[in-house]
Amino acid sequence: MPPKYDVSMPAAAELQPVGQATFIATRAKSDAALLEEWCDGYDGHTRRAYERVGARFLETLAMPLRQAAVGDYRQAVAALGIKPAGTEASRATRATYTAAVKSFLGFAHGVGYLAFNPGPFLKVEKQARDLAKRIIDDIDVRTLIRAAKEGRDRLLIEVAYYGGLRVSELVGLHWSDVIERDNGRLQITSLEGKGGKVREVLLPAGVSDRLRQYRRDKPDNDPIFRSARRDGPITERAAVDIVKAAARDAGIAKPISPHWLRHAHISHALDNGAPVSLVSQSVGHSDLKTTSIYAHARPGDSSGLYLKDL
């Protein structure tokens, strides 16, 4: 039977296993140190986002975590959703902030820094089911690719779409991440997404050929999508700008971003008969339910089609 821990003491930093030596769950002596400890469990884009949201939350709370009541936490989270200009952030952004704070507070309680977990008292706003509005059809994708500047920008859009990559994965690619496979295809290897889940992605032969031609004699440690302004890969912001510029030149009015291409990859693959399990594995979803949402967002069949047209 696992040991029981006494976490009833206020501001407990040490958990006391019954009948055993003291187990120290955290050495954090301040809220800032605790935040750093929590963020150490993540890396890349996720870590930067959590550091930013966590720091803003602690600043907005304006009192130590151990002195705050539920109402104080709620007010601080509500304040996070207000932009510097005084306007309200989008529902999706507010939901992301709340989810991050809930995770942080759950960690604080789990390691004994807080005597109780305020997280369950913070409600995440339900988001409207607008996924269908953010799925573009394959004609738009082809138009977008043709409108992009030849070379780096066009290849970035192609790899984003055919690989189903997150923008953080896209800009982090180096030539060493690409290996040869059968039938003229290239494989993007060792993609590490959310939760540290590693996967491999195969690219179609046509995209693979264009990548080979673009590479020429570039060394393995070179980023695939190099910045023209600095030494190193382009930023996530620059990748977004590339996609938006191509959409503007293509005359596509929708606010397309690299993540829209990921949505399109999933939806189009399912429409064309790819198994849900394969799509889920390819894009790095942790749960088949997440992938299945796309099938419901744009169903290829519906019971209404079986009714007699009056």
Using alpha carbons, list the distances in angstroms from residue 308 to 40, 301, 302: 59, 15, 13
Sign of CA dihedral 248, 251, 253, 256: negative
Residue-range domain boundaries for the chain: 5-121, 132-297
Minimum mean pLDDT range among 27-36, 75-84, 177-186, 267-276? 267-276
Write down the mean pLDDT value for the chain.
Answer: 82
Give domain 5-121's CATH architecture. Orthogonal Bundle (1.10)
Please determine, for residue 248, whether its predicted confidence score (pLDDT) is greater than 90.
yes
Please determine, for residue 18, whether its predicted confidence score (pLDDT) is greater than 60.
no
| Ranges assigned E (strand) in 158-236 | 178-180, 186-192, 198-203
**According to the model, what pLDDT value does residue 273 have?**
74
CATH code of the region 132-297: 1.10.443.10
**According to the model, what pLDDT value does residue 196 have?**
66
pLDDT in tens, 119-134: 889 887 655 455 556 6
**According to the model, what pLDDT value does residue 159 have?**
94
**According to the model, what pLDDT value does residue 194 have?**
63
Give the residue-averaged pLDDT of 151-163: 94
pLDDT in tens, 31-83: 999 999 999 988 777 788 889 999 999 999 989 999 999 999 999 999 998 98
**6 — pLDDT class (breaks 50, 70, 90):** very low
Give the residue-averaged pLDDT of 281-304: 63
Q: Which residues are catalytic?
A: 166, 194, 259, 262, 285, 294
**According to the model, what pLDDT value does residue 156 have?**
96
What is the rounded distance in angstroms from the CA atom of residue 224 to the CA atom of residue 281?
23
